[in-house]
Amino acid sequence: MTTTIPSKSTALRTHTCGELNASHAGQTVTLSGWTDVKRNHGGVLFINLRDLYGVTQVVANPGSPVFKTAEEAKSEYVLRVTGKVSLRPGANANKNMPTGEIEIEASEITILNASQPLPFELGEHAGVSEETRLKYRFLDLRRPRMAKNMVLRSRLSQVVRNYLYGLDFNEIETPLLTRSTPEGARDFVVPSRNNPGEFYALPQSPQQFKQVLMMSGMDRYFQLARNFRDEELRSDRQPEHTQIDLEMSFVDEQDIARVVEGMMKAVFAYIGEEISGPFPEMEYSDVMLKYGSDKPDLRYSLEIKDCSEIFKASGFKVFSEALAGSGVVRAIKGEKAAVFSRKDMDNLTDLVKARGAKGLVWLRFKDGKFESPTLKFMTEPELAALKDLLAVAEGDAVFIAADKAAVAAPCLGALRTELISRLKPAQEKKRAFLWVRHFPLLEKDPESPNWTFTHNPFTAPLPGEEGKLDTDPGNVLSCQYDLVLNGVELGSGSVRNHSRAMQEKIFGLMGYDKEQVQRRFGMIVNSLDLGAPPHGGIGIGYDRLIGLICGTDSIRDVIAFPKTTSGACLMSDAPSVIDDKQLKELHLKITD
Ligand code: ASP
């Protein structure tokens, strides 16, 4: 059977508003779209007719039978226009408009629908609050910038799918009504009418199902999966987000990395950018030491340096006490930051104090020497060594943190980000990908005496680290990796435990006894016993990826119907109360 793919020509149009040019001159065409802008030039009416694909100029001459209807058409009226394509006289051609060589001399105009005056102008430059944009999202999506984001998102899903299908991945849907898999956030729950007092959880990720699919022998799974996490919202977080979720059997970390790098290459090739792999990779411990963050923006090379050795015999109490308490002294240079005022320095000090530091030591290098309120506590040899280590030049400033490594690292990491945003150093590359590998498997749970997972409870210890589970659980390295792009955590994944004994041991350290493991994770631990292959995977934040590609800081700009920071959908008015009958059916009672 042969099928013809229908063109965009339909019952109500022969062409779109974006496709006509000089080659169509003389043809009679029908377009349908919205009245974008209407102008009256010496009695002649010009209507810019708009659809998703572009804008075409329609002309209605006085005295023509369409003139009256053209006069009636107001902003956002939906029209169908038939007419002849004619070349615009040379001087009137508009080179900035893809259809700017032609216009339609209307012989028939039908108003398909009228529109009330809009609550806001669609013009790209009209300042409209986000609240209004979200309330009238369907109007907001008519704006070319937003429409472009939506179309690009759709096209890139196709690129991702084609790429993964090309590697024999199978796209498999997993349930939305399920039971909770911990991913570090609260669950959204759905009451079960048929099972009084019982609840489904919306998945924080398809984690357990995708692992079970490997145990089913599916070998390679992917899904553009919706994940639900009830956590504090920010510009790059939504209560539901989309993830390119994948899992593979018989792989190690490097196999998964190569698949993801190929995917990034395909995605960026679609927008004309060449990305080459393999991406650089760093150990988690190194990345924290050098950049003070597990998602450093490596478009900039600015590095933190350890200067504990320089100050090991320091008489400065701030340094000597930190070092005596098995802490560290670390520094970062601000190029040309000697112009920072005392007030700037105070603000930077507040920034690190908010992250637990007791203070911040700073020095400016001016006229060939250091100046600082704490200069007297440092010796000439120490200052000379510091200058060498950081390659300090005229006009630079140095910032030093002395504390436990766990405090100094994030403080200097935050300072690094702030220095980049204030000093705007030249970007060394446009896209800086990085694999951060071998995170600690466990960390202390702040709410109990137990250990908890740092990323994912199913992550395997790094081969060779297993022995430390008994002696030093906090220092066990794991097969957990993150993919970072330009300072944004784009994805996270791991090689998983495929032996029941290891998985149970790790759950044990997290404080779960056998009965709890069975109750909460029975599905996975039982299948680990029945021939589970070695496997691993990753989840890549699709909204964040598209946000980076579209050049927006807010993922709300790349999601058709996003929620506000308080989790509301202003268009549909969700969440909302439900009536008493529904509550009763669900066996629920609302208390104060
Ligand atoms: N389930 C993880 C997440 O959603 C991703 C993974 O480990 O594959 O972050």
Give tens-digit pLDDT for 468-521.
Answer: 999 999 999 999 999 999 999 999 999 999 999 999 999 999 999 989 899 889
Residue 446 confidence (pLDDT) = 84
Domain containing residue 102: 22-113
Structure tokens at 99: 């259809």
Q: Which amino acid is at 64?
A: S
User: Which residue, 113, 146, 173, sits at the end of a domain?
Assistant: 113
Residue 72 lies in a domain: yes
Task: Note the pTM of the prediction, 2 decimals.
Answer: 0.93
Residue 511 lies in a domain: no
Q: Which residue has the tokens 């898999």?
A: 181
Looking up residue 65, the CATH number of its domain turns out to be 2.40.50.140
pLDDT digits (tens, 9 = 90+) for 43-74: 999 999 999 999 999 999 999 999 999 999 99
Ligand 1: list residues with CB < 6 Å: 183, 205, 207, 227, 243, 456, 492-494, 537-539
User: Which residue, 82, 113, 144, sits at the end of a domain?
Assistant: 113
Residue 417 lies in a domain: yes
Residue 486 confidence (pLDDT) = 95
The torsion angles phi and psi of 491, rounded to 5 degrees, stand at: -160, 165
pLDDT digits (tens, 9 = 90+) for 244-302: 999 999 999 999 999 999 999 999 999 999 999 899 999 999 999 999 999 999 999 99
Atom of ligand 1 nearest to the CA of 537: 8
How far does the centroid of ligand 1 lie from the alpha carbon of residue 244, in Å? 10
Residue 180 confidence (pLDDT) = 73
Residue 376 lies in a domain: yes
pLDDT digits (tens, 9 = 90+) for 470-484: 999 999 999 999 999
238 has pLDDT over 80: yes
Residue 473 lies in a domain: no
Q: Which residue has the tokens 């944009």?
A: 133
Residue 508 lies in a domain: no
Residue 239 lies in a domain: no
Q: Are 68 and 30 in contact (CB under 8 A)?
A: no
Nearest to 544 by CA among 586, 498, 487: 487
**Band of the pLDDT at 4, cuts 50, 70, 90?**
low
Averaged pLDDT, 319-336: 96
Residue 88 lies in a domain: yes
Residue 449 confidence (pLDDT) = 87
Q: Are 465 and 421 in contact (CB under 8 A)?
A: no
Encode 249-273: b = buried (16+ Cβ within 10 Å), e = exposed: bebebeebbebbbbbbbbbbeeeee
Atom of ligand 1 nearest to the CA of 494: 7
Question: Hey, which residues does 265 pair with through a beta bridge?
Answer: none
Looking up residue 415, the CATH number of its domain turns out to be 3.30.1360.30
Number of structural domains found in the chain? 2
- The secondary structure of 48-111 as a DSSP string is EEEETTEEEEEEE-TTSTTHHHHHH--TT-EEEEEEEEEEPPGGG--TTSTTTTEEEEEEEEEE
Mean per-residue pLDDT of the chain? 94
Ligand 1: which of 227, 245, 495, 496 to mutate, most ligand atoms within 8 Å of CB? 245
How far does the centroid of ligand 1 lie from the alpha carbon of residue 540, in Å? 8
Ligand 1: which of 241, 454, 479, 538 to mutate, most ligand atoms within 8 Å of CB? 538
Atom of ligand 1 nearest to the CA of 247: 8
pLDDT digits (tens, 9 = 90+) for 395-427: 999 999 999 999 999 999 999 999 999 999 999
- How far apart CA 455 and CA 228 sit, in angstroms, is 16
User: Which residue, 423, 444, 464, sits at the end of a domain?
Assistant: 423
